[in-house]
Amino acid sequence: MTAPVPLSRLSVNQETVRQLSLPDLAAGCVKEGITAVGLWRSPVQEYGVERTARLLRESGLAVTSLCRGGFFTDPEPAARARALDDNRAAIDEAVTLGTDTLVLVSGGLPPGSRDLVGAREHIADALAELGPYARERGVRLAIEPLHPMFAADRCVVSTLSQALDLAERFPAEQVGVVVDTYHLWWDDQAPAQIARAGRGGRIHAFQLADWITPLPAGVLLGRGQLGDGSVDFKAFRALVDAAGYAGRIEVEIFNEELWARDGGEVLRETAERFRTHV
């Protein structure tokens, strides 16, 4: 029912193949016909932000997003000031890297707190400060709802609905959302919320990973290669397409088994799985 997805829509997030250096990532993508990557701040800073930008430009690779800003929920003034400074630095790095999207992982409950509603308000306060700064530089802040299993320690924004409730307080050019199948696949409200996000022009990124079990200790590295788990990617793509999103689709998998393998082989497999399952 859905037309086959062209490989030109694939972007591979560098954490999917974190065993690859940036030059090897760039060369591997070129070899497999992959035309875009998603980046993380820490390996980019290690290699050098300007140097990364030059490498990717010379390789003809687009940058779909930079991960990550966020961690806005600690109300302690010094922590809050540090978080805002760090997010402004992330926005600047996004500009240098030539991407228009900074992914935000909003932060968990502050230490000792049980106040989810209050923590979400701290996020709104930070977005109000950062939105204009980002907008002036052509960068959009993309709130990523994380699976509810991360609500305490990583991100109090657990559903696309909550992310949109936050984003819609600001212009779509400043603040949007990430649609990530790993975090949203279980939610029967996701289809309606994807449509809502599309109507508002707020789908700033579309990311894929599969849901596999059993989850490992700490659950962070439990994501699966496309096709290995429970996610119906074609159904998700149909929803996101129908919502008017025509941009790149980023594969972002954290999985120690993938990291232990040859990175070039994982890139090839990812492109194949993308063609077959998405």
Using CB under 8 A as the binding rule, the residues of this chain from 120 to 159 that contact its own copies are 147-149, 151-153, 158-159
CB 15 within 8 A of CB 256: no
Ramachandran quadrant class, 251 (left: phi over 0; alpha: psi -120 to 50; beta: rest): beta
Of 70-99, which residues contact its own copies (CB under 8 A)?
none
Binding of residue 193 to its own copies (CB under 8 A) = no
How far is it, in rounded angstroms, from Cα 112 to Cα 225? 36
Query: Using CB under 8 A, which of the segments 40-48, 168-176, 223-231, 244-252 binds its own copies?
Result: 223-231
Residues 199 and 45: their CA atoms lie apart, in Å, by: 36
Q: Does 231 bind its own copies (CB under 8 A)?
A: yes
Q: How far is the CB of 224 from its own copies (least distance, A)?
A: 10
Q: Which residues contact 115 (CB under 8 A, 6 or more apart)?
A: 109
| Angle between the N-to-C axes of helices 77-97 and 49-58, in degrees from 0 to 180, rounded to the nearest 10 | 30
Among 232, 256, 257, 262, binds its own copies (CB under 8 A): 232
Question: Any residues with CB less than 8 A from the CB of 249 and at least 6 apart, and which?
Answer: 5, 9, 10, 11, 206, 207, 208, 237, 274, 278
Dig out the tokens for 10 from the structure: 């694939």
User: Which residue carries 């699976």 as its tokens?
Assistant: 147
Shortest distance in whole angstroms from residue 162 CB to its own copies: 6
Q: Which of residues 72, 182, 211, 274 is near its own copies by CB under 8 A?
A: 211
Pick the closer one to its own copies by CB: 229 or 247.
229
For residue 259, the minimal CB distance to its own copies (Å) is 18
Q: Could you say whether residue 213 binds its own copies (CB under 8 A)? A: yes
Site for its own copies in 2-61 (CB under 8 A): none
Task: Name which of 230 and 276 has its Cβ closer to its own copies.
Answer: 230
Residues binding its own copies (CB under 8 A)? 109, 114-117, 147-149, 151-153, 158-159, 162, 185-188, 211-219, 229-232, 235
